[in-house]
Amino acid sequence: MDLQLAGRRILITGASSGIGLATATMLAHEGARLALCARDEERLRAAIAEIAEVADVVTATCDVTDRASVDTFVGTAVDHFGGLDGVVCNAGRSLMRTLDETTDEEIRDEFDLKIFGALNVVRAARKALADSDAAAVVIVNAILSRQPERQLAVTAAARAGLLNLSRSLAADLADDGIRVNSVLLGLIDTGQWQRRYVSSGTDVTFGAWSAEIAADRGIALGRFGTADELAFPVTTLLSPRNSYMTGAALEVGGGVHRYV
């Protein structure tokens, strides 16, 4: 099936690793033109070297919590492509800590990253998206937004706020013909989990270590997802063929949810 993404101009935050990189790769092979950012531009350039061989790509150093930095990145992308058709708000990480171990500053930083990390990008891109004939925003969020975990209380609260905000954005931006949907992740094998595996000091393989966590969390499929398995739902939500879907939250967690 033709997803009608050829020539579409898509901006992705946090594209140097994991889900952002896998999504950029899939979109490049669909013929999309890409604006990609991360804080470490050298790592970003190295990660997207193969994408740059098949697609028209703009890269930038950008911290999504810094509004001026986001405005500059979005402005550069709009100038280069002459507009934008899609945005993927993906940049981020989780704060794995109990409430007692978390400082006030860390709590504020977490809300800053989750809320402004998406809002700064959507606000900067709104005008350009409004000029597109098929504009879409995808917000990468987590099932944690509906189902908190003890070690992730602050991240879960910030994600719940982001999920709620995404619904408001879908309602507000519908006036400009812009669809806004969320993808809610379970546990996905990316840089975040590879770093946790290394710092755990375990001597078992990543597969065995992650299977134990998957069992503990009650993931029906018994394993972590892969970045490619997330790239597909994100890509299809960007497709103009998904024209009647907005304000939705798509769960991709291998059956981890414990509610109906």
The contact set with ligand NDP (CB under 6 A) reads: 13-20, 38-40, 43, 62-65, 90-94, 113, 140, 142, 185, 187-188, 190-193
Specify whether the backbone of 92 is left (phi greater than 0), alpha (psi in -120 to 50) or beta.
Answer: left
Residues 6+ apart with CB under 8 A from 71: 120, 124
DSSP state for residue 201 in the 8-state scheme: T
Nearest-approach distance from CB 131 to ligand NDP, in angstroms: 25
Nearest-approach distance from CB 243 to ligand NDP, in angstroms: 25
DSSP state for residue 113 in the 8-state scheme: I
Nearest-approach distance from CB 85 to ligand NDP, in angstroms: 21
144, 187 Cβ separation under 8 angstroms: no
The distance from CA 6 to its chain's CA centroid, rounded to whole angstroms, is 21
Residue nearest to ligand NDP (CB): 18
The distance from CA 8 to its chain's CA centroid, rounded to whole angstroms, is 18
Task: Report d(CA 55, CA 12) in Å as an integer.
Answer: 14
When the beta carbons of 165 and 185 are compared against ligand NDP, the nearer one is: 185
Task: Report d(CA 35, CA 29) in Å as an integer.
Answer: 15
When the beta carbons of 38 and 173 are compared against ligand NDP, the nearer one is: 38
When the beta carbons of 32 and 62 are compared against ligand NDP, the nearer one is: 62
When the beta carbons of 209 and 241 are compared against ligand NDP, the nearer one is: 209
Nearest-approach distance from CB 104 to ligand NDP, in angstroms: 19
When the beta carbons of 131 and 149 are compared against ligand NDP, the nearer one is: 149
Nearest-approach distance from CB 230 to ligand NDP, in angstroms: 8
